[in-house]
Structures are given as structure tokens and as C-alpha cells.
Chains A and B, each alone.
Chain A
């Protein structure tokens, strides 16, 4: 992965989050508050991003190498399992409590928002806890089971 591409992608992503209004947790909560005064903006943010994403990924999927030569590492299709449902439910509860998801949390940290200075370290601790639990699970799983497809392997998005 080219470092400059990565830096600029992160920057443009962050600018998009600021322009869209999604760095403001109150605006995210207003989208999630169906019973209150509903602000549909977040749906349009996703629509705008997906409108660009669909043709981009249609091209990316047909390639084995990225345009700058790195191997194309798009995730292979995986079944809808317990992990994705339980994990997403847990994430959704945290998202609804604070109005922060990972991207806006990090951008708000860059803005010096005091609550992001509390939220982001807690989020990193949650991710670290996950890494710890996965490592423990892998070392306690017998070798034969670890090699089974779909077993406790190294999973990434």
C-alpha cells in the first residue's frame, strides 16, 4: 500500500465526514431517532458514497492488481454468521449511546472535541480487548481445528 495514497484517502474521507455533518454526534442521533424529529441526512451521505463506490468496486473486482501495482485485497464472500450479527448489534448499541462510530470519533478527536478524547481511547481499548481475546482463543484451539476452513482463523474485513 502506497503511503501517500493511504494518507490522502484518510484525509479525503475525513473531509467528507466533516462536510456531510456526520462528525456531529447530535446529527447522527437525530437520524437514529425515528420516534423524534427525524433528520434523514445520514441516509443521503451513504447514498452519495455508495453512488461513487459501486462503479469503483465494479472495476476493482475485475483486477488482480491495484493501479499502483499492489495486490488487490478485497474480501472474499463469507456466509452471514453469528459473529457479524452479534458484533454489529453490539456496535449499534454503542453507536446509539454516543452518536460516534469509528471514523467520526477519530475526526472529532482531531477537532479536539472533549467527548472524543473520552470515546476514542475507550474504543481502542475495546479493539485491543478483541485482539487479546482472539489471540487467547487461537492459542487454546488445537492445531487440527485451527486449520479447518471457517475455524478460528485470522479474520479481517
Chain B
């Protein structure tokens, strides 16, 4: 393993992480809920009606964040190597998988680990391992894109 020191951004990573932590802390302490994105969004599509407004408000805040950020600084660029077909497949897998597992990087990876949940720890270890293996296969074995 070679660490790419030129790409490593420890301070912005930590401060961005602290902001995410503040958002989940607010959501739990003031609102009494877990800030899990897949659960919040998935709940808009499932049978649990009557909880649409607060879920929509959270998503509006999330999608609107770049518009606020733009007023103070230049937005970072987002580079995606995956072709369209792969993006569609990836989206389907992320949507299905996170709902089936009852959580994603936020609900299990941040909130769950903060709560010391063994189930969330297992989830986080599993999606990290699956991500490592997928990137290894795509980039170094099959050399499909982004190599």
C-alpha cells in the first residue's frame, strides 16, 4: 500500500467530519431520530406515510447545501470515472442494498458506530470490504475504468 500524501486532506476531512457529526447530534438530540440518509429517503418511497414533511425537509437541506456553500467558497469538483451504464447499476445496488441492510454510510457508519451498535459495526465492515474488493477488481484486475 502506498499512501498518496499529495491527495490526503486531513484537516478538511476532519472538519467536514465534525460538521457531519454536529448534524447527526442535532438531529438526534433535538429531533430524536437517527440521521440515516437511506432510511430518510427510503421512507418517502415506502408504506410509512404521514412522515413525509420532515423527511422532505432534510433532503431539501442536503440537496440545497451546495447553493449555500457557493456563496462563501468555490464548490469542489466532482470527478466520476464510471460510465452511464455502470452508474445506473451502481444506483440500483446502492438503493436496494442500503434499504435491505437498514442503513448506509451515515446510519450505520456514523450514527451506528457512535452508538456502539454491533450490527452497525458488522454492516460498516461489510460495505467497506465489498467496496475495497470492487475497486480492486475494477481497477487492477479487470481494468475497466478509472485505472
Contact = CB atoms under 8 A, between A and B. Distances in A.
B100 A92 contact: no
Contacts of A8: 26, 61
Contact of B23 (A13, A30, A84, A106): A13
B interface: dominant SS: helix
Interface of B: 1-4, 7-10, 12-39, 41-43, 45-48, 51, 53-55, 57-69, 75-82, 84, 86-111, 113-115, 117-119, 122-124, 126-136, 138-140, 146
Given A16-B16, A41-B7, 18 more contacts: A6-B27, A12-B26, A14-B63, A16-B23, A24-B79, A48-B14, A48-B20, A49-B18, A56-B28, A92-B127, A100-B80, A110-B65, A113-B80, A116-B78, A125-B91, A126-B92, A126-B99, A127-B42
Contacts of A18: 16, 65-66, 69, 75-76
A11 B91 contact: no
B131 A95 contact: yes
Contacts of A108: 78
B47 to A, nearest CB: 6
Contacts, number: 517
Interface of A: 1-27, 29-30, 32-42, 44-54, 56-57, 59-61, 65-68, 70-75, 77-80, 83-103, 105-111, 113, 115-116, 118-131, 134-135, 154-157
A29 B131 CA distance: 9
A121 B92 CA distance: 9
